[in-house]
Amino acid sequence: MGRMTLELEGVSRRFGGLEALRGITLRVPEGARRAIIGPNGAGKTTLFNVITGELAPSTGRIRLFGRDVTRLAAHRRAAMGLGRTFQITNLFSRLTVEENVLLALQALSPRKYAMVRPLRRDAALLRRARSLLEPAGLWEKHATEVRALSYGEQRQLEVLLALAGRPRVLLLDEPAAGLSPGERREMARFIKGLDASLTILLIEHDMDVAFEVVETITVLHLGSVVAEGSTEAVRADPAVQEIYLGTVEARGAR
């Protein structure tokens, strides 16, 4: 096994009386593509929030690229190369598409503190924004406020913002949620086509999307890891079938 990109040791998180994460231990090697699955309320989003530093763990340790980041602020973890998307679309909704991308592009540059020179004079930065938006088919909407975009376009931008800073680890929280079947397939293909050196953690309910993208799966249930392994092994695990896949198949059979 290669170097570890992300390691969690006995990470727990309480919300008052609720233990949303219970002693999670997780090791994600460099370049891995791992899905985190589990029923609603299993603690998947909370796990992401603890990894990114949006929430502090109640107990346990987190290491990123071998460095202990348990107490490190969220923006510093981002600067180390940790990118994420949000389950509930989290964009700068009253800014234009282009401004959203510009914010993502300048996030890790000291020029974000520049106060005098107009942003619009930075031709190189504007070019980078355009070259990020064009392949996604969003350039023609660059001057549109994000709140006026379709839901599908917003989900697309959600991923683009996370990629703009060229992260080395990407946490995707249900990127295909709410999309049409066609858009889901497109999203799956897009994620699969990302740079092979990029470590990806993917929360996904849609098994077709998950199986398309990842080679290993971690199953979370009531805040604990209940199974972990290759997609086939997890699919065959009777405990997993009972708590998760079983319910999905039962729903599918109806």
**Cβ–Cβ under 8 Å, residues 183 and 152:** yes
Q: Interface with another protein by CB under 8 A: which residues?
A: 52-54, 73-75, 78-79, 83-84, 86, 90-96, 98-99, 102-104, 106-108, 111-120, 122-123, 126-127, 130, 140-145, 148, 161-162, 164-165
Torsion of CA 22, 27, 33, 37, to 10 degrees: -10
Q: How far is the CA of 248 from the CAs of 155, 205, 210, 213, in angstroms?
A: 24, 9, 14, 19
Q: Which residue has the tokens 């249900």?
A: 174
The SS3 assignment for 69 reads coil
Nearer to Mg ion, 132 or 244 (CB): 244
- β-bridge pairing 4-15 and 18-29: antiparallel
Nearer to Mg ion, 43 or 53 (CB): 43
Contacts (CB under 5 A) with Mg ion, residues 34-53: 45
59, 87, 89, 216: which one contacts Mg ion (CB under 5 A)?
87
Instruction: For residue 122, give the amino acid letter.
Output: D
Report the partner that residue 40 touches, choosing among another protein, Mg ion, ligand ADP, none (CB closer than 5 to 8 A by kind).
ligand ADP
Helix (H) or strand (E) holding 233: helix 231-236
Helix segments in 142-180, DSSP class H? 151-164
Nearer to ligand ADP, 133 or 219 (CB): 219
Nearer to ligand ADP, 12 or 45 (CB): 45
Running DSSP on this structure, what letter comes out for residue 61? E
Does position 89 bind Mg ion by CB under 5 A? no
Q: Interface with ligand ADP by CB under 6 A: which residues?
A: 15, 18, 20, 38, 40-46
Report the partner that residue 15 touches, choosing among another protein, Mg ion, ligand ADP, none (CB closer than 5 to 8 A by kind).
ligand ADP
